[in-house]
Structure formats: C-alpha cells, structure tokens
Amino acid sequence: MYLSKEYKAGIFAEFAGSATNTGSTEGQVALFTKRIAHLTEHLKKNRKDFGTQRALQMLVGKRRSLLAYLYKKDINRYRAIIKGLGLRDIIK
C-alpha cells in the first residue's frame, strides 16, 4: 500500500512536528496532499473511475476547509504549509 505506517509517520514528522501528532492541521493537509497526488495519477490512467473521482473531490474539499481554518487561525502557519507543500504560486 502506498500509505504505509512509516510513510505517514514521516509526513507527520516533517509537517506536524512529531510522528505522533496526527491531529495537527498541517499534518492532515500534508497527508491529504499526498493522497490527492496519488489519486490524480490514478485518474490519469483510469479516467472512467468515477468512484475515485468522487473520493478525490471530497479530499480536495476537506483540504480546502482545513486550509481555510488555518488561514483564519494563524496566517503564518498557513503560509508555511503552503510554501512547504508548494500548493500555490501566490500566497495571500
């Protein structure tokens, strides 16, 4: 599986501060970004997989709401996660 326990722990250690801090907003956004990238590659090969397409849309919505929360809560953390993941060219 592409999201093994060690892989997730590495993502959370890099973006959330520690491998056990799985509830942090930054860690969840980073994990969602990795999953979105994986599903996007899958959909490039299997364009008629509508179940995966719906799952991808739901993940993008969850990530967007978490980023909106982080933007309202702490703009500096928002800017750091956007820059760290390379999500946007223009940072607010």
Tell me the one-letter amino acid at 44. K
Q: Provide the pLDDT for residue 32.
A: 95
Do 34 and 56 form a contact (C-beta atoms < 8 A)?
no
CATH code of the domain in which 68 resides: 1.10.287.10
pTM, two decimal places: 0.89
Determine the structural domain holding residue 38 and report its residue range: 5-85
Q: Is residue 92 part of a domain?
A: no
Q: Residue 29 CB: number of other CB atoms within 10 A?
A: 24
Tell me the one-letter amino acid at 43. L
Q: Is residue 41 part of a domain?
A: yes
Give the chain's domain count: 1
pLDDT digits (tens, 9 = 90+) for 14-60: 998 888 888 899 999 999 999 999 999 999 999 999 999 999 999 99
